[in-house]
């Protein structure tokens, strides 16, 4: 298992990220096109298909605007404020039809990529989850589309667009945001976790009295080692998969001095 390292770049984004963003947007749009009814529920969500698609369209536009240098605010960075801002934005945006939303999701993903291509790789932007360099911001956009794209695929009975390569490209965002989404369940926790994704990245998560530090390299003397299938990792991290079920299916293996911490690990964070 290799530690997470900086992938080769082409422009401001790591190699493969532009293609993953463009491809994910296109696959989400394909799930929507031709659907006359978007009032069906999204499993595990209070949103309908139309509302989830509208949120994706709005989020892609928000991120494209930020990448283009337009100041946009959306909550204060906490999960609660982001959820509230999402609801306000949805209430002010009445489009729920599949075809226009599919077109907007793709068009705004393309607009994001065009805007990033005009910027220096060293540029940083203010995002809804704090300041990020453009590579991490691109990883954020991809991760957001993967989570909601997975929801839409489940809702319409389609194939989701998560795979190992796209999960690997989501990791810069996931690691950058983990310290910002520590949950109350981690209060007072002191423990060292080694997290290894099958066949790809390995990283460390160190809690000291509830404060978290992320290491991009494997750590020594972990209390708990978690070996996990990559797509399962992302689904658990985004709150789309039950860790106990994943353990029961053999998608998660754990060992160390405190292996019982593994099923609790997702509860130490609020899904971004």
The arithmetic mean of pLDDT across residues 256-269, rounded, is 94
* 182-268: CATH number: 3.30.1050.10
pLDDT tops 80 at residue 2: no
Domain ranges of the chain: 2-166, 182-268
Task: Calculate what percentage of the chain has a pLDDT beyond 70.
Answer: 96
Does the pLDDT at position 213 exceed 90? Answer: yes
Q: Residue 75: what pLDDT?
A: 79
| The pLDDT value given to residue 195 | 97
Q: How far apart are CA 43 and CA 161, in angstroms?
A: 17
Calculate Rg over the CA atoms of the chain. 18
Q: For 38-97, what is each residue's pLDDT tens digit? A: 999 999 899 999 999 999 999 999 999 999 999 778 878 777 888 899 999 999 999 999
What does the H/E/C string look like for 152-176?
HHHHHCCCCCCCHHHHHHHHHHHHH
Residue 1 has a pLDDT of 47
* 13: β partners: 10
pLDDT for 81: 87
pTM of the full structure: 0.93
Query: Tell me, what's the pLDDT at 15?
Result: 94
Which of the listed CATH numbers 3.40.50.2000, 1.20.120.450, 3.40.50.2300, 3.40.50.300 matches domain 2-166? Answer: 1.20.120.450
Residues 6 or more apart from 121 whose CB is under 8 A from it? 9, 11, 12, 133, 134, 135
The angle formed by the CA atoms of residues 27, 28 and 34, to the nearest 5 degrees, is 95
| pLDDT greater than 60 at residue 164 | yes
Residue 6 pLDDT > 60: no
What is the percent of the chain where pLDDT is above 90? 85
Average pLDDT, the chain: 93
């Amino acid at each position: 298992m290799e530690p997470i390292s900086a992938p080769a770049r082409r422009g401001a984004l790591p190699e493969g990220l532009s293609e993953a963003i463009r491809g994910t947007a296109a696959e989400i749009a394909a799930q929507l096109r031709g659907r006359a009814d978007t009032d069906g529920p999204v499993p595990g969500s209070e949103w309908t298909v139309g509302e989830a698609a509208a949120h994706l369209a709005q989020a892609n536009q928000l991120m494209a605007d930020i990448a283009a240098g337009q100041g946009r605010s959306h909550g204060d960075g906490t999960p609660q404020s982001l959820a509230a801002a999402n609801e306000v934005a949805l209430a002010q945006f009445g489009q729920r039809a599949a075809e226009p939303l599919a077109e907007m999701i793709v068009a705004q993903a393309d607009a994001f990529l065009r805007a990033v291509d005009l910027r220096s790789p060293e540029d940083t932007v203010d995002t809804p989850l704090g300041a990020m360099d453009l590579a991490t911001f691109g990883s954020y956009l991809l991760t957001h589309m993967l989570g909601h794209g997975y929801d839409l695929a489940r809702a319409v009975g389609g194939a989701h667009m998560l795979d190992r390569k796209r999960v690997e490209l989501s990791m810069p965002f996931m690691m950058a945001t983990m310290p910002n989404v520590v949950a109350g369940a981690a209060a007072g926790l002191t423990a060292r976790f080694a997290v290894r994704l099958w066949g790809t990245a390995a990283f460390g998560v160190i809690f000291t009295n509830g404060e978290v530090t992320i290491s991009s390299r494997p750590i020594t003397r972990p209390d708990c080692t978690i070996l996990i299938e990559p797509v399962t990792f992302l689904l658990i991290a985004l709150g789309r998969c039950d860790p106990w079920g994943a353990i029961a299916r053999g998608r998660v293996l754990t060992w160390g001095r405190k292996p019982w911490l593994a099923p609790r690990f997702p509860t130490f964070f609020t899904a971004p």
